């Protein structure tokens, strides 16, 4: 962890001798110059100063400033007192922190009120962030009785200046008549913390964390202090040690964590130039430089964030342990006292696993056995606070990974193979850093972030969430959410291989090289070390090496192309591998980012699974996809739907005679029926036909356009959809045998939701009609890059893929995602006279990874010269 060189004393600067005399009228310019001098001095001091000194020095500086202004506005002649509260009350101030003030005024005289108004107005004129309240002593406690935040502020109140007698009355009432009992205050602060954690999805690992409020942040440390101060009626954090609730080492650790978080917060405020507690991507590179992590951009950010996540993990564990100690002391919870023994080492106390003696973890195997017991007794909800302390101490004293111990390996295998092993037990192993103590490779990914918009969690948190997702496929509490995965997992004879693949799938990230290949090697070695069979080892290693294959194929390839499905089936080879890979892929996508999973991705994966399963089920050494059979089935089912709707079979067949076989292969019976009904009912003057709906219940919006063939239709539609804030996920551009086009687009709104509003649907239709009838020009996008996108740079790459199709060219485009990207690309293709036949649009965080299938104007594959021209044009226009 990067730390400044501790200073014996802050570099001295005489800020006070040049201040206006107390007798002089306050001069705004003089004070503003002084504040600017102090800001520059503090920024320079930050490079080498001890942060604890710096935040306290800032508090003292503003004490002096406020005390001097108090006298200059002659408030010292009134019966009022100035009190510091909040962080300022704790004598800590960061560059952007609010200066929270409580003004005690029992007399409410007009003279004092006028002076106070002038005093506060002057502070605001200095552009200071002042938070203030003017109250009588009785009002303070009356309002505190109904507001836990006000009550908390009163606990940390610190006298600054003014009438001391009114402050003494306040202090006496604070001790004798505080409106919150220790029990009620504890419960309120605990509820407040739980609610705050829920805002961040209950994890410390958000990649744009709030330094103050995220789980494991400064607020969690303050919560411990607030409860201690209320319970022990003290202003000292050291009371936690004095009263035996924390060891001296734990206190030092908590203080070190707080100082580290203070340092990153101070740097963040300097970087932004104002109060900002969200460590956004915009600010991370600058903050990393200020903290001494170098100037490498992405690398320095990832190093800084790795240290950050390690710190908040320690804070979270200490917070949980100490709040449980308080629960026992303050609430005297009887259910924590009822105990039943499990064996010589452990018992269940209430719903918590408890060590029966303090030497329990002197035997390393008990660090694993503890979690096996949790798996074996599902009513255990957590670990008792004193046992957490023993576990933490044992972890710190380990000299080698637990996996080096044969007994630990045996117990770990039993845990992974237990039906409940990857439920709460695995979760607690992760949160108490026992996975990191067991597996050296896991230790390397703790806090490992990736500076991008795709991965929402650190690698270890993502991996834990993936394993949790896999476990939920067999958890009755989540039954019915993923029916196919649930049925596949229920039938798996080697379910433990699935969990092990989940553990190792990203284990090699951050090491350089291909993490899938390196992870497969680690997985194979692990399986051999732990006594698994060669078949088990090869299955786990294969899953790790191929864990991205199904996702890439489904989202970035044309899965309606038999060649694509055939290639995927050739890689998978067996139905068992397919079942495992499908479940692993679903769990992986859902664990990567809260916003990634949707019905469209679910549909793509399930369609690929079903097509591949069909191929692998054939009794043939060279199975192939029966395209004709699928076309016949789609036609028969669509015909049944149309006949039931009252349409004539002869008319249907006449219409379908104009369609190509590719159309019937690429569309479902529901889509074919929907399209056919409207085309059969269409008068020539009603062209183009525009349909917007979701006939397949995919949770997306389908746009179908039937029109006379015309050039640049794709570019026109793409421009309108972009102007309407709609994203194209998939496009199929098909022609009839007699000069008409049937284009199908799969769409979502920018928020990831389908288009359902009737008014919006009509608006999109009308805009399309205006452009296709040439009443309006194709709209051009002028939206700027979003705040987050500006922090990333993705070099544009164009890669042409080999294909057996003689009349098609397929290429992959990788570039920075941006407003109007598809529309801009469509315009490039239009200028080069290249026709789009199909498109798959995939956004991976800040990166667009799109697939286009195109042909030349004479319906042939592009020549090498045309390919090179297309590639150069795309790169030139997108990398401007």
210 to 194, 207, 291, 457: CA distances (angstroms) = 15, 9, 17, 14
Please check whether residue 395 is in contact with residue 437, taking contact to mean a CB–CB distance below 8 angstroms.
yes
DSSP structural state of residue 69? H
Average pLDDT, the chain: 90
Q: What is the pLDDT of residue 783?
A: 72
Q: What is the pLDDT of residue 4?
A: 43
CA distance 568 to 549: 8
pLDDT tens, residue by residue, 4-58: 434 445 555 566 666 667 667 788 898 999 999 999 999 999 999 999 999 999 9
pLDDT tens, residue by residue, 779-830: 877 677 776 667 778 899 999 998 778 889 999 999 988 888 888 898 899 8
pLDDT-wise least confident of 178-187, 444-453, 756-765: 444-453
Task: Give kind and range of the element (H or E) at residue 374.
Answer: helix 366-376
The angle subtended at Cα 499 by Cα 496 and Cα 504, nearest 5°, is: 125
The yes-or-no verdict on residue 535 having pLDDT over 60 is: yes
Please check whether residue 144 is in contact with residue 154, taking contact to mean a CB–CB distance below 8 angstroms.
yes
Q: Is the dihedral of CA 466, 471, 474, 476 positive or negative?
A: negative
Q: Give residue 153's pLDDT band: very low, low, confident or very high (50, 70, 90).
A: very high
pLDDT tens, residue by residue, 554-578: 998 989 888 899 999 999 999 999 9
Q: Give residue 214's pLDDT band: very low, low, confident or very high (50, 70, 90).
A: very high
What's the number of CA atoms in the CB half-sphere (13 Å) around residue 812?
A: 17
Q: What is the pLDDT of residue 3?
A: 45
- Bond before 717 cis per omega within 30 degrees: no
Q: What are the tokens at 8?
A: 């014996």
Tell me, rounded to whole angstroms, the distance of Cα 172 from its chain centroid: 47
Q: What is the pLDDT of residue 7?
A: 42
Nearest to 447 by CA among 457, 435, 434, 432: 457
The yes-or-no verdict on residue 204 having pLDDT over 70 is: no
Provide CB contacts within 8 A for 546, sequence distance 6+. 516, 571, 581
Q: What is the pLDDT of residue 698?
A: 78
Give the percent of the chain with pLDDT over 90: 70
Average pLDDT over every residue of 355-359: 96
Q: Give residue 166's pLDDT band: very low, low, confident or very high (50, 70, 90).
A: very high
Q: What is the pLDDT of residue 350?
A: 86
The total of other beta-carbon atoms located within 10 Å of residue 428's CB is 22
Tell me, rounded to whole angstroms, the distance of Cα 735 from its chain centroid: 43
CA distance 586 to 601: 9
Q: What is the pLDDT of residue 201?
A: 67
Nearest to 743 by CA among 723, 721, 759: 721
The yes-or-no verdict on residue 328 having pLDDT over 90 is: no
pLDDT tens, residue by residue, 741-763: 999 999 988 888 899 899 999 99
Please check whether residue 45 is in contact with residue 73, taking contact to mean a CB–CB distance below 8 angstroms.
no
Nearest to 466 by CA among 495, 506, 429, 431: 506
Nearest to 215 by CA among 188, 190, 196: 196
The secondary structure of 154-220, three-state, reads: HHCCEEEEECHHHHHHHHHHHHHCCCCCHHHHHHHHHHHHHHHHHCCCCCCCCCCCECCCCCCCHHH
Q: Give residue 232's pLDDT band: very low, low, confident or very high (50, 70, 90).
A: confident
Query: Strand 99-105 and strand 130-135: pairing?
Result: parallel
pLDDT-wise least confident of 573-582, 591-600, 684-693: 591-600
Q: What is the pLDDT of residue 620?
A: 66
pLDDT tens, residue by residue, 115-139: 999 999 999 999 999 999 999 999 9
Q: Give residue 2's pLDDT band: very low, low, confident or very high (50, 70, 90).
A: very low
Q: What is the pLDDT of residue 14?
A: 60
Highest mean pLDDT among 281-295, 329-343, 468-482, 725-739: 468-482
Identify the residue with better confidence: 330 or 52. 52
The yes-or-no verdict on residue 476 having pLDDT over 90 is: yes
- The DSSP secondary structure of 806-827, one letter per residue, reads TT-EEEEEEEE--TTHHHHHHH
CA distance 717 to 765: 11
The total of other beta-carbon atoms located within 10 Å of residue 693's CB is 15
Q: What are the tokens at 220?
A: 């969690």
pLDDT tens, residue by residue, 407-432: 999 999 999 999 999 999 999 999 99
Average pLDDT over every residue of 483-505: 97
Q: What is the pLDDT of residue 728?
A: 87
Average pLDDT over every residue of 671-676: 95
């Amino acid at each position: 962890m990067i730390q400044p060189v501790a200073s014996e004393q802050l570099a001295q600067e005489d800020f006070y001798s040049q201040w206006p005399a107390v007798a002089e009228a306050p001069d705004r310019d003089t004070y503003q110059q002084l504040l600017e001098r102090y800001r520059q001095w503090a920024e320079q001091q930050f490079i080498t100063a001890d942060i604890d000194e710096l935040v306290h020095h800032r508090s003292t500086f503003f004490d002096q400033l406020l005390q001097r202004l108090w006298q200059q506005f002659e408030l010292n002649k009134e019966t009022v007192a100035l009190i510091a509260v909040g962080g300022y009350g704790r004598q800590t101030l960061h560059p952007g922190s609010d200066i929270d003030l409580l003004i005690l005024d029992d007399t409410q005289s007009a003279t004092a009120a006028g002076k106070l108004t002038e005093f506060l107005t002057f502070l605001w004129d200095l552009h200071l962030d002042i938070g203030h309240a003017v109250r009588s002593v009785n009002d303070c406690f009356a309002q505190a009785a109904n507001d836990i935040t006000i009550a908390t502020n009163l606990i940390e109140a610190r006298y600054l200046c003014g009438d001391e007698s009114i402050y003494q009355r306040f202090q006496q009432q604070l001790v004798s008549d505080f409106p919150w009992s220790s029990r009620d205050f504890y419960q309120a602060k605990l509820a407040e913390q739980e609610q705050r954690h829920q805002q961040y999805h209950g994890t410390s690992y958000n990649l744009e964390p709030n330094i103050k409020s995220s789980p494991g942040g400064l607020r969690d440390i303050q919560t411990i202090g607030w409860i201690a101060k209320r319970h022990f009626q003290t202003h000292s954090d050291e009371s936690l040690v004095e009263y035996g609730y924390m060891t001296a080492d734990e206190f030092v650790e908590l203080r070190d964590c707080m100082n580290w978080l203070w340092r990153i917060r101070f740097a963040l405020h300097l970087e932004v130039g104002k109060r900002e507690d969200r460590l956004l991507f915009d600010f991370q590179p600058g903050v990393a430089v200020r903290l001494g992590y170098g100037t490498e951009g992405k690398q320095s950010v990832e190093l800084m964030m790795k240290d950050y996540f390690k710190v908040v993990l320690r804070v979270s564990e200490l917070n949980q342990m100490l709040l449980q100690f308080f629960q026992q002391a303050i609430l005297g919870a009887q259910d924590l006292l009822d105990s039943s023994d499990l064996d010589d080492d452990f018992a269940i106390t209430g719903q918590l696993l408890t060590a029966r003696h303090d030497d329990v973890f002197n035997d390393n195997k008990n660090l694993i056995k503890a979690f096996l017991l949790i798996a074996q007794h599902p009513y255990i909800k957590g670990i008792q606070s004193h046992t957490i302390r023993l576990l933490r101490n044992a972890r710190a004293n380990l000299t080698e990974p637990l996996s080096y111990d044969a007994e630990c390996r045996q117990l770990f295998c039993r845990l992974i193979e237990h039906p409940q092993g990857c439920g709460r037990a695995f979760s607690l192993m992760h949160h108490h850093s026992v996975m990191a103590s067991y597996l050296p490779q896991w230790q390397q990914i703790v806090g490992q972030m990736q500076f991008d918009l795709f991965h929402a969690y650190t690698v270890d948190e993502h991996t834990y969430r993936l394993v949790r997702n896999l476990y939920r496929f067999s958890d009755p509490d989540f039954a019915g959410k993923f029916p196919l995965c649930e049925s596949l997992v229920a039938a798996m004879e080697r379910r433990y291989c699935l969990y092990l693949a989940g553990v190792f799938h990203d284990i090699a990230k951050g090491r350089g090289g291909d993490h899938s290949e390196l992870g497969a090697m680690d997985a194979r070695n692990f399986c051999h070390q732990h006594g698994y069979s060669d078949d088990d080892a090869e299955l786990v290693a294969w899953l790790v090496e191929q864990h991205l294959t199904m996702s890439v194929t489904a989202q970035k390839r044309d899965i309606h192309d038999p060649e694509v499905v055939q290639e995927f089936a050739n890689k998978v080879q067996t139905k068992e591998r397919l079942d495992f890979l499908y479940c692993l892929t679903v769990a992986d996508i859902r664990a990567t980012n809260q916003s990634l999973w949707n019905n469209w991705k679910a549909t793509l994966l399930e369609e690929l699974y079903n097509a591949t399963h069909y191929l692998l089920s054939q009794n043939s050494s060279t199975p192939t996809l029966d395209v004709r059979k699928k076309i016949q089935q789609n036609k028969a089912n669509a015909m049944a739907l149309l006949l039931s709707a009252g349409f004539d079979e002869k008319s249907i067949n006449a219409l379908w005679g104009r369609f190509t076989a590719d159309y019937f292969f690429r569309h479902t019976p529901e889509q074919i029926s929907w399209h056919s009904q409207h085309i059969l009912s269409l008068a020539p003057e009603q062209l183009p036909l525009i349909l917007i709906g979701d006939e397949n219940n995919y949770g997306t919006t389908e746009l179908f356009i039937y029109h006379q063939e015309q050039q640049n239709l794709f570019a026109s539609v793409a421009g309108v959809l972009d102007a309407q804030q709609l994203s194209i996920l998939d496009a199929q551009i098909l022609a009839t045998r007699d000069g008409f086009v049937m284009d199908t687009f799969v769409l979502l709104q920018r928020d990831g939701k389908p288009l359902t509003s009737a008014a919006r649907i009509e608006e999109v239709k009308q805009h399309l009609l205006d452009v296709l009838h040439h009443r309006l020009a194709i709209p051009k996008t002028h939206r700027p890059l979003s705040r987050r996108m500006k922090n990333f740079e993705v070099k544009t790459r164009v890669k042409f893929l080999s294909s057996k199709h003689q009349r098609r060219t397929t290429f992959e485009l990788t570039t920075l995602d941006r407003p109007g990207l598809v529309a801009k690309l469509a315009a490039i293709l239009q200028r080069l006279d290249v026709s789009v036949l199909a498109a798959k649009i995939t956004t991976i965080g800040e990166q667009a990874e799109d697939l286009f299938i195109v042909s030349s104007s004479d319906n042939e594959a592009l020549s090498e010269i045309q390919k090179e021209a297309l590639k150069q044009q795309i790169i030139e226009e997108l990398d401007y």
